[in-house]
A and B are shown apart, each in its own frame.
Chain A
Amino acid sequence: MIQTDNYLVKDHEVLFTSMGEDAVLLHVQRGDYYSLNKVGARLWVLTDGCKTIRELAVLITEEFDITHEQAENDIIELAEQLEKEGLVKAVETPQNDQQT
Protein backbone atom coordinates (compact mmCIF):
# COMPACT_ATOMS: atom_id res chain seq x y z
CA MET A 1 0.00 0.00 0.00
CA ILE A 2 1.49 3.30 -1.06
CA GLN A 3 1.71 5.97 1.67
CA THR A 4 1.78 9.76 1.41
CA ASP A 5 5.35 9.89 2.76
CA ASN A 6 6.62 7.53 0.01
CA TYR A 7 8.79 8.80 -2.82
CA LEU A 8 7.94 7.90 -6.41
CA VAL A 9 10.78 6.63 -8.59
CA LYS A 10 10.37 6.29 -12.35
CA ASP A 11 11.59 3.18 -14.14
CA HIS A 12 14.58 4.06 -16.34
CA GLU A 13 13.09 2.11 -19.24
CA VAL A 14 10.06 4.40 -19.50
CA LEU A 15 9.84 7.13 -22.12
CA PHE A 16 7.47 10.08 -21.84
CA THR A 17 5.99 12.25 -24.55
CA SER A 18 3.58 15.12 -24.19
CA MET A 19 0.58 15.15 -26.53
CA GLY A 20 -0.88 18.56 -25.83
CA GLU A 21 -2.41 18.33 -22.36
CA ASP A 22 -2.26 14.53 -22.28
CA ALA A 23 0.83 12.35 -22.41
CA VAL A 24 1.93 8.85 -23.34
CA LEU A 25 4.37 6.66 -21.44
CA LEU A 26 6.16 3.85 -23.22
CA HIS A 27 7.99 0.99 -21.54
CA VAL A 28 10.84 0.52 -24.00
CA GLN A 29 11.66 -3.10 -23.21
CA ARG A 30 8.13 -4.40 -23.16
CA GLY A 31 6.52 -2.09 -25.70
CA ASP A 32 3.59 -1.42 -23.38
CA TYR A 33 2.22 2.08 -23.41
CA TYR A 34 0.09 3.99 -21.00
CA SER A 35 -1.78 7.25 -21.53
CA LEU A 36 -2.02 9.95 -18.89
CA ASN A 37 -4.53 12.77 -18.58
CA LYS A 38 -3.33 16.31 -17.93
CA VAL A 39 -3.01 15.86 -14.15
CA GLY A 40 -1.21 12.54 -14.62
CA ALA A 41 1.07 14.09 -17.24
CA ARG A 42 1.95 16.95 -14.88
CA LEU A 43 2.55 14.49 -12.04
CA TRP A 44 4.96 12.53 -14.23
CA VAL A 45 6.94 15.68 -15.01
CA LEU A 46 7.05 16.66 -11.32
CA THR A 47 8.12 13.19 -10.19
CA ASP A 48 11.87 13.24 -9.63
CA GLY A 49 12.44 10.67 -6.91
CA CYS A 50 13.04 13.41 -4.33
CA LYS A 51 9.48 14.51 -3.58
CA THR A 52 7.05 12.62 -1.36
CA ILE A 53 3.51 12.07 -2.50
CA ARG A 54 2.44 14.67 0.05
CA GLU A 55 4.80 17.21 -1.55
CA LEU A 56 3.63 16.28 -5.03
CA ALA A 57 0.03 16.78 -3.89
CA VAL A 58 0.89 20.32 -2.74
CA LEU A 59 2.29 21.15 -6.18
CA ILE A 60 -0.68 19.59 -7.98
CA THR A 61 -3.11 21.51 -5.74
CA GLU A 62 -1.39 24.77 -6.71
CA GLU A 63 -1.91 24.08 -10.42
CA PHE A 64 -5.30 22.39 -10.55
CA ASP A 65 -8.66 23.06 -8.98
CA ILE A 66 -8.52 20.19 -6.52
CA THR A 67 -8.29 19.81 -2.72
CA HIS A 68 -5.10 18.54 -1.08
CA GLU A 69 -6.87 15.43 0.19
CA GLN A 70 -8.29 14.67 -3.24
CA ALA A 71 -4.87 15.24 -4.84
CA GLU A 72 -3.20 12.80 -2.42
CA ASN A 73 -5.87 10.17 -3.06
CA ASP A 74 -5.65 10.61 -6.86
CA ILE A 75 -1.85 10.45 -6.84
CA ILE A 76 -1.87 7.28 -4.72
CA GLU A 77 -4.45 5.69 -6.98
CA LEU A 78 -2.46 6.54 -10.13
CA ALA A 79 0.85 5.55 -8.50
CA GLU A 80 -0.59 2.15 -7.62
CA GLN A 81 -1.66 1.61 -11.23
CA LEU A 82 1.71 2.76 -12.55
CA GLU A 83 3.54 0.55 -10.05
CA LYS A 84 1.44 -2.41 -11.16
CA GLU A 85 2.48 -1.68 -14.74
CA GLY A 86 6.14 -1.48 -13.68
CA LEU A 87 6.43 2.19 -14.63
CA VAL A 88 7.21 3.58 -11.15
CA LYS A 89 8.20 2.30 -7.73
CA ALA A 90 7.14 3.75 -4.38
CA VAL A 91 10.11 3.82 -1.96
CA GLU A 92 10.75 5.09 1.55
CA THR A 93 13.95 7.02 0.84
CA PRO A 94 14.57 9.69 -1.80
CA GLN A 95 16.44 8.80 -5.01
CA ASN A 96 18.24 11.67 -6.65
CA ASP A 97 19.21 10.13 -10.01
CA GLN A 98 15.82 10.64 -11.60
CA GLN A 99 15.34 12.73 -14.69
CA THR A 100 12.17 14.69 -15.08
Chain B
Amino acid sequence: MTSDSDSSAVAELVERGMAKHGGEIHTGYFDFHGVLTRTLTNSEMVDRAVTGFLRAFPGEEAEKPDIEFHLFTVDKLDDSLGEIPAKAALLYDWGMVKIYHQGPLRYLEVDTQARVVADVEKRTAVGFAEKELLQSDWLVSNLFFYPLWGQLLKECGLFPLHAAGLVKEGRSCLFLGRSGSGKSTLTLHLVKNGYGLLSDDTVFLREKDGRIEALSFPEEINVSEQTMELIPELSRVENFTVNELRNKSSFSIEELYPGCVVDTSEPALMVFPQIAEVASTTVAPMSRTEALALAMRYGYFFLDPSTTGRHFEILSLLARQGRCFRLNSGSDQEELGRAVDRLLTGSLEEDQTSGGRKE
Protein backbone atom coordinates (compact mmCIF):
# COMPACT_ATOMS: atom_id res chain seq x y z
CA MET B 1 0.00 0.00 0.00
CA THR B 2 2.84 2.41 0.68
CA SER B 3 4.74 1.89 -2.56
CA ASP B 4 2.85 4.63 -4.40
CA SER B 5 2.36 6.92 -1.45
CA ASP B 6 5.83 8.39 -1.05
CA SER B 7 4.47 11.89 -1.45
CA SER B 8 1.61 11.45 1.02
CA ALA B 9 1.47 13.04 4.44
CA VAL B 10 1.14 9.64 6.10
CA ALA B 11 4.20 8.23 4.31
CA GLU B 12 6.26 11.26 5.30
CA LEU B 13 5.19 10.86 8.93
CA VAL B 14 5.99 7.15 8.87
CA GLU B 15 9.46 7.99 7.57
CA ARG B 16 9.89 10.56 10.33
CA GLY B 17 8.63 8.12 12.95
CA MET B 18 10.96 5.38 11.76
CA ALA B 19 13.95 7.75 11.76
CA LYS B 20 13.25 9.17 15.20
CA HIS B 21 11.53 6.36 17.06
CA GLY B 22 12.10 3.25 14.95
CA GLY B 23 14.15 0.62 16.78
CA GLU B 24 12.72 -2.86 16.76
CA ILE B 25 9.45 -2.96 14.79
CA HIS B 26 6.71 -5.44 15.70
CA THR B 27 4.49 -6.39 12.77
CA GLY B 28 1.02 -7.90 12.97
CA TYR B 29 -1.42 -9.14 10.31
CA PHE B 30 -5.16 -9.30 10.93
CA ASP B 31 -7.79 -10.65 8.57
CA PHE B 32 -10.96 -8.85 9.64
CA HIS B 33 -13.79 -10.37 7.63
CA GLY B 34 -11.70 -10.36 4.47
CA VAL B 35 -10.02 -6.99 5.03
CA LEU B 36 -6.32 -7.49 5.74
CA THR B 37 -4.66 -5.01 8.11
CA ARG B 38 -0.93 -4.78 8.76
CA THR B 39 0.11 -3.06 11.99
CA LEU B 40 3.64 -1.91 12.67
CA THR B 41 4.78 -0.54 15.99
CA ASN B 42 7.95 0.24 17.88
CA SER B 43 6.27 -0.79 21.15
CA GLU B 44 5.89 -4.30 22.49
CA MET B 45 3.02 -3.08 24.68
CA VAL B 46 1.10 -1.61 21.70
CA ASP B 47 1.70 -4.79 19.72
CA ARG B 48 0.34 -6.89 22.57
CA ALA B 49 -2.70 -4.64 23.03
CA VAL B 50 -3.67 -4.60 19.34
CA THR B 51 -3.03 -8.33 18.97
CA GLY B 52 -5.26 -8.94 21.99
CA PHE B 53 -7.94 -6.62 20.61
CA LEU B 54 -7.98 -8.47 17.27
CA ARG B 55 -7.18 -11.92 18.65
CA ALA B 56 -10.16 -13.46 16.84
CA PHE B 57 -8.83 -12.29 13.46
CA PRO B 58 -5.29 -13.57 12.85
CA GLY B 59 -4.08 -12.91 9.31
CA GLU B 60 -1.43 -14.22 6.97
CA GLU B 61 1.59 -12.13 6.08
CA ALA B 62 1.08 -10.33 2.75
CA GLU B 63 2.91 -7.87 0.56
CA LYS B 64 -0.08 -5.59 -0.02
CA PRO B 65 -2.56 -5.41 2.85
CA ASP B 66 -5.82 -3.49 2.46
CA ILE B 67 -4.96 -1.26 5.45
CA GLU B 68 -1.60 -0.34 6.90
CA PHE B 69 -1.39 1.20 10.36
CA HIS B 70 1.83 2.45 12.03
CA LEU B 71 1.73 3.14 15.77
CA PHE B 72 4.69 4.77 17.46
CA THR B 73 5.15 5.45 21.15
CA VAL B 74 7.26 8.49 21.96
CA ASP B 75 8.53 10.14 25.12
CA LYS B 76 7.20 13.56 24.16
CA LEU B 77 4.84 14.49 21.33
CA ASP B 78 6.09 17.47 19.34
CA ASP B 79 4.60 19.44 16.46
CA SER B 80 6.60 17.59 13.83
CA LEU B 81 4.53 14.45 14.53
CA GLY B 82 1.23 14.91 12.78
CA GLU B 83 0.42 18.49 13.71
CA ILE B 84 -3.14 19.34 12.68
CA PRO B 85 -3.24 21.98 9.93
CA ALA B 86 -5.09 25.21 10.73
CA LYS B 87 -7.35 24.63 7.71
CA ALA B 88 -8.53 21.19 8.88
CA ALA B 89 -12.21 21.18 9.84
CA LEU B 90 -13.42 19.78 13.14
CA LEU B 91 -15.58 16.70 12.64
CA TYR B 92 -16.06 15.42 16.19
CA ASP B 93 -15.33 16.93 19.57
CA TRP B 94 -15.56 14.73 22.65
CA GLY B 95 -13.54 17.02 24.88
CA MET B 96 -10.21 15.26 25.24
CA VAL B 97 -10.59 13.50 21.90
CA LYS B 98 -11.14 15.41 18.65
CA ILE B 99 -11.29 14.38 15.01
CA TYR B 100 -10.56 16.73 12.10
CA HIS B 101 -10.59 16.32 8.34
CA GLN B 102 -8.94 17.95 5.39
CA GLY B 103 -9.14 16.38 1.93
CA PRO B 104 -8.41 12.66 2.25
CA LEU B 105 -6.75 13.08 5.64
CA ARG B 106 -8.35 12.46 9.03
CA TYR B 107 -6.67 13.62 12.21
CA LEU B 108 -7.35 12.21 15.65
CA GLU B 109 -6.03 14.17 18.60
CA VAL B 110 -6.04 12.97 22.20
CA ASP B 111 -5.38 16.03 24.31
CA THR B 112 -1.74 16.98 23.67
CA GLN B 113 -0.54 13.42 24.12
CA ALA B 114 -1.45 11.52 20.97
CA ARG B 115 -2.16 12.13 17.30
CA VAL B 116 -3.16 9.76 14.54
CA VAL B 117 -3.29 10.70 10.86
CA ALA B 118 -5.12 8.53 8.33
CA ASP B 119 -5.31 8.81 4.56
CA VAL B 120 -8.72 7.42 3.59
CA GLU B 121 -7.77 7.13 -0.08
CA LYS B 122 -4.52 5.24 0.44
CA ARG B 123 -5.94 3.43 3.52
CA THR B 124 -2.84 4.07 5.55
CA ALA B 125 -2.49 5.60 8.99
CA VAL B 126 0.21 6.59 11.41
CA GLY B 127 -0.10 7.42 15.08
CA PHE B 128 2.17 8.84 17.75
CA ALA B 129 1.35 8.60 21.44
CA GLU B 130 3.26 9.49 24.55
CA LYS B 131 4.10 6.41 26.58
CA GLU B 132 2.57 8.03 29.65
CA LEU B 133 -0.88 8.14 27.97
CA LEU B 134 -0.99 4.44 27.14
CA GLN B 135 -1.58 3.09 30.61
CA SER B 136 -3.66 0.09 29.59
CA ASP B 137 -4.35 -2.20 26.66
CA TRP B 138 -7.86 -0.76 26.51
CA LEU B 139 -6.52 2.77 25.97
CA VAL B 140 -4.18 1.57 23.23
CA SER B 141 -6.82 -0.37 21.32
CA ASN B 142 -9.86 1.85 21.85
CA LEU B 143 -8.32 5.31 21.82
CA PHE B 144 -5.13 5.08 19.81
CA PHE B 145 -5.96 2.42 17.24
CA TYR B 146 -9.67 1.77 16.82
CA PRO B 147 -11.20 5.18 15.86
CA LEU B 148 -9.32 5.74 12.61
CA TRP B 149 -8.94 2.03 11.87
CA GLY B 150 -12.77 1.93 12.00
CA GLN B 151 -12.87 4.75 9.45
CA LEU B 152 -10.47 2.88 7.15
CA LEU B 153 -12.66 -0.23 7.46
CA LYS B 154 -15.60 1.84 6.23
CA GLU B 155 -13.55 2.70 3.15
CA CYS B 156 -13.27 -1.08 2.65
CA GLY B 157 -17.05 -1.59 2.91
CA LEU B 158 -17.34 -2.63 6.58
CA PHE B 159 -19.50 -0.29 8.67
CA PRO B 160 -19.35 -0.39 12.47
CA LEU B 161 -22.57 -0.16 14.45
CA HIS B 162 -22.79 0.30 18.21
CA ALA B 163 -24.94 -2.77 18.82
CA ALA B 164 -24.92 -6.18 20.40
CA GLY B 165 -25.64 -8.99 17.94
CA LEU B 166 -27.22 -12.33 18.95
CA VAL B 167 -28.01 -15.16 16.56
CA LYS B 168 -30.62 -17.87 16.39
CA GLU B 169 -31.03 -20.24 13.45
CA GLY B 170 -28.82 -18.09 11.26
CA ARG B 171 -30.79 -14.86 11.78
CA SER B 172 -29.73 -12.17 14.15
CA CYS B 173 -31.16 -9.63 16.48
CA LEU B 174 -29.24 -6.37 16.84
CA PHE B 175 -29.60 -4.43 20.08
CA LEU B 176 -28.72 -0.82 19.46
CA GLY B 177 -27.93 1.40 22.37
CA ARG B 178 -25.33 3.35 24.21
CA SER B 179 -23.31 2.03 27.11
CA GLY B 180 -25.66 1.44 30.04
CA SER B 181 -28.71 0.56 27.93
CA GLY B 182 -28.51 -3.09 28.99
CA LYS B 183 -26.82 -4.64 25.94
CA SER B 184 -24.34 -6.73 27.92
CA THR B 185 -26.99 -8.04 30.31
CA LEU B 186 -29.20 -9.04 27.38
CA THR B 187 -26.24 -10.64 25.66
CA LEU B 188 -25.43 -12.78 28.68
CA HIS B 189 -29.05 -13.88 29.14
CA LEU B 190 -29.40 -14.88 25.50
CA VAL B 191 -26.06 -16.65 25.16
CA LYS B 192 -26.92 -18.55 28.34
CA ASN B 193 -30.11 -19.63 26.54
CA GLY B 194 -28.28 -20.97 23.52
CA TYR B 195 -27.97 -17.94 21.26
CA GLY B 196 -24.82 -17.42 19.19
CA LEU B 197 -22.89 -14.20 19.66
CA LEU B 198 -21.63 -11.70 17.09
CA SER B 199 -20.67 -9.08 19.66
CA ASP B 200 -21.98 -7.52 22.83
CA ASP B 201 -21.02 -3.97 21.81
CA THR B 202 -20.10 -3.47 18.15
CA VAL B 203 -21.05 -5.37 15.03
CA PHE B 204 -19.94 -4.55 11.52
CA LEU B 205 -22.36 -4.33 8.61
CA ARG B 206 -21.63 -5.28 5.02
CA GLU B 207 -23.85 -5.37 1.96
CA LYS B 208 -23.90 -8.61 0.04
CA ASP B 209 -26.22 -9.08 -2.95
CA GLY B 210 -28.56 -6.34 -1.77
CA ARG B 211 -28.89 -7.75 1.75
CA ILE B 212 -27.15 -6.66 4.92
CA GLU B 213 -24.92 -9.05 6.81
CA ALA B 214 -23.85 -8.47 10.40
CA LEU B 215 -20.27 -9.48 11.13
CA SER B 216 -18.78 -10.53 14.43
CA PHE B 217 -16.46 -8.44 16.55
CA PRO B 218 -16.15 -10.44 19.77
CA GLU B 219 -14.32 -8.09 22.09
CA GLU B 220 -14.14 -8.90 25.77
CA ILE B 221 -17.50 -8.34 27.43
CA ASN B 222 -17.64 -5.42 29.85
CA VAL B 223 -19.88 -5.90 32.84
CA SER B 224 -20.79 -3.59 35.66
CA GLU B 225 -21.11 -4.71 39.28
CA GLN B 226 -24.87 -4.62 38.85
CA THR B 227 -24.70 -7.07 35.93
CA MET B 228 -22.40 -9.34 37.94
CA GLU B 229 -25.09 -9.54 40.60
CA LEU B 230 -27.82 -10.29 38.04
CA ILE B 231 -25.98 -13.10 36.27
CA PRO B 232 -24.89 -15.76 38.79
CA GLU B 233 -22.92 -17.68 36.13
CA LEU B 234 -20.35 -14.87 36.09
CA SER B 235 -19.00 -16.19 39.39
CA ARG B 236 -17.48 -19.06 37.35
CA VAL B 237 -15.28 -16.66 35.37
CA GLU B 238 -11.67 -16.88 36.51
CA ASN B 239 -10.02 -14.28 34.29
CA PHE B 240 -11.52 -10.85 34.80
CA THR B 241 -9.71 -7.69 33.72
CA VAL B 242 -10.66 -4.72 35.85
CA ASN B 243 -10.98 -1.45 33.94
CA GLU B 244 -10.91 1.25 36.57
CA LEU B 245 -11.30 4.02 34.01
CA ARG B 246 -14.70 2.68 32.93
CA ASN B 247 -15.63 1.19 36.29
CA LYS B 248 -16.29 -2.16 34.63
CA SER B 249 -14.71 -5.59 34.48
CA SER B 250 -14.20 -7.49 31.27
CA PHE B 251 -13.87 -11.14 30.37
CA SER B 252 -13.89 -13.39 27.34
CA ILE B 253 -17.34 -14.92 26.87
CA GLU B 254 -15.82 -18.06 25.39
CA GLU B 255 -14.47 -18.84 28.85
CA LEU B 256 -18.07 -19.31 30.03
CA TYR B 257 -19.68 -20.51 26.81
CA PRO B 258 -17.06 -22.07 24.49
CA GLY B 259 -17.93 -21.97 20.79
CA CYS B 260 -20.71 -19.38 21.17
CA VAL B 261 -19.18 -16.86 18.73
CA VAL B 262 -20.78 -16.80 15.27
CA ASP B 263 -18.90 -15.22 12.37
CA THR B 264 -21.73 -13.72 10.35
CA SER B 265 -25.52 -13.57 10.25
CA GLU B 266 -28.37 -11.79 8.50
CA PRO B 267 -30.17 -9.32 10.81
CA ALA B 268 -33.90 -9.94 11.16
CA LEU B 269 -34.58 -7.62 14.09
CA MET B 270 -33.43 -4.22 15.29
CA VAL B 271 -34.23 -3.75 18.95
CA PHE B 272 -33.59 -0.58 20.94
CA PRO B 273 -33.31 -1.55 24.61
CA GLN B 274 -33.59 0.79 27.53
CA ILE B 275 -33.56 -0.01 31.20
CA ALA B 276 -36.97 0.87 32.63
CA GLU B 277 -37.61 1.26 36.34
CA VAL B 278 -40.57 -1.12 36.14
CA ALA B 279 -41.27 -4.72 37.10
CA SER B 280 -42.35 -6.08 33.73
CA THR B 281 -40.48 -6.08 30.47
CA THR B 282 -42.46 -4.66 27.54
CA VAL B 283 -41.91 -4.56 23.81
CA ALA B 284 -43.38 -2.04 21.37
CA PRO B 285 -43.09 -1.92 17.58
CA MET B 286 -41.17 0.97 16.10
CA SER B 287 -41.41 2.46 12.62
CA ARG B 288 -38.50 1.83 10.26
CA THR B 289 -38.10 5.57 9.84
CA GLU B 290 -37.59 6.05 13.57
CA ALA B 291 -35.26 3.03 13.70
CA LEU B 292 -33.14 4.49 10.90
CA ALA B 293 -32.98 7.87 12.62
CA LEU B 294 -31.79 6.22 15.85
CA ALA B 295 -29.39 3.89 14.04
CA MET B 296 -27.59 6.89 12.56
CA ARG B 297 -26.66 7.89 16.11
CA TYR B 298 -25.11 4.49 16.68
CA GLY B 299 -23.05 4.31 13.50
CA TYR B 300 -19.50 5.13 14.55
CA PHE B 301 -18.27 8.40 13.04
CA PHE B 302 -21.34 8.48 10.86
CA LEU B 303 -20.48 11.97 9.66
CA ASP B 304 -17.45 11.52 7.50
CA PRO B 305 -17.32 13.34 4.16
CA SER B 306 -16.05 10.25 2.40
CA THR B 307 -18.43 7.60 3.73
CA THR B 308 -21.63 9.17 5.12
CA GLY B 309 -23.60 8.55 1.94
CA ARG B 310 -22.72 4.87 1.80
CA HIS B 311 -23.19 4.51 5.56
CA PHE B 312 -26.67 6.01 5.20
CA GLU B 313 -27.50 3.49 2.45
CA ILE B 314 -26.26 0.59 4.57
CA LEU B 315 -28.34 1.64 7.58
CA SER B 316 -31.39 2.24 5.36
CA LEU B 317 -31.08 -1.28 3.97
CA LEU B 318 -30.75 -2.63 7.50
CA ALA B 319 -33.87 -0.78 8.69
CA ARG B 320 -35.84 -2.07 5.69
CA GLN B 321 -34.59 -5.63 6.07
CA GLY B 322 -36.01 -6.53 9.45
CA ARG B 323 -38.56 -5.56 12.04
CA CYS B 324 -37.89 -2.86 14.60
CA PHE B 325 -38.87 -2.70 18.27
CA ARG B 326 -38.31 -0.75 21.44
CA LEU B 327 -37.61 -2.95 24.47
CA ASN B 328 -38.21 -1.60 27.95
CA SER B 329 -36.27 -3.93 30.22
CA GLY B 330 -37.98 -4.49 33.53
CA SER B 331 -36.65 -6.21 36.61
CA ASP B 332 -38.02 -9.57 35.42
CA GLN B 333 -34.65 -10.60 34.01
CA GLU B 334 -35.66 -14.05 32.78
CA GLU B 335 -38.53 -12.54 30.79
CA LEU B 336 -36.03 -10.45 28.81
CA GLY B 337 -34.65 -13.48 27.04
CA ARG B 338 -38.13 -14.89 26.42
CA ALA B 339 -39.34 -11.57 24.96
CA VAL B 340 -36.51 -11.49 22.43
CA ASP B 341 -37.01 -15.17 21.72
CA ARG B 342 -40.66 -14.51 20.84
CA LEU B 343 -39.74 -11.61 18.55
CA LEU B 344 -37.16 -13.59 16.67
CA THR B 345 -39.30 -16.70 16.49
CA GLY B 346 -42.17 -14.55 15.20
CA SER B 347 -39.87 -13.15 12.55
CA LEU B 348 -38.77 -16.62 11.46
CA GLU B 349 -42.35 -17.90 11.31
CA GLU B 350 -43.42 -14.84 9.33
CA ASP B 351 -40.75 -15.57 6.75
CA GLN B 352 -41.78 -19.18 6.46
CA THR B 353 -45.46 -18.39 6.00
CA SER B 354 -44.86 -15.57 3.52
CA GLY B 355 -42.48 -17.74 1.53
CA GLY B 356 -39.75 -15.15 1.65
CA ARG B 357 -38.02 -12.53 3.66
CA LYS B 358 -39.51 -9.29 4.67
CA GLU B 359 -39.41 -6.60 1.97
Contact = CB atoms under 8 A, between A and B. Distances in A.
Interface of A: 15, 17, 19-20, 22-24, 26, 28-29, 31, 33, 35
Contacts of A19: 287-289, 292, 316, 319-320
Given A19-B316, A19-B319, A28 B309 contact: yes
Q: Is chain B's binding surface mostly helix, strand, loop or mixed?
A: helix
B312 A26 contact: yes
A35 B293 contact: yes
B157 to A, nearest CB: 18
Contacts of B305: 28-29
Nearest to B296: A33
A22 B303 contact: no
A23 B288 CA distance: 9
Given A26-B296, A31-B303, A15 B312 contact: yes
Contacts of B303: 28-29, 31
Interface of B: 287-290, 292-293, 296, 302-303, 305, 308-309, 312-313, 316, 319-320, 359
A24 B302 contact: no
A22 B293 CA distance: 13
Nearest to B320: A19
Contacts of A29: 303, 305
25 contacts: A15-B312, A17-B292, A17-B312, A17-B316, A19-B287, A19-B292, A19-B316, A20-B288, A20-B320, A22-B289, A23-B289, A24-B289, A24-B292, A26-B296, A26-B308, A26-B312, A28-B303, A28-B308, A28-B309, A29-B303, A29-B305, A31-B296, A31-B302, A33-B296, A35-B289
Contacts of A35: 289-290, 293
Contacts of B316: 17, 19, 24
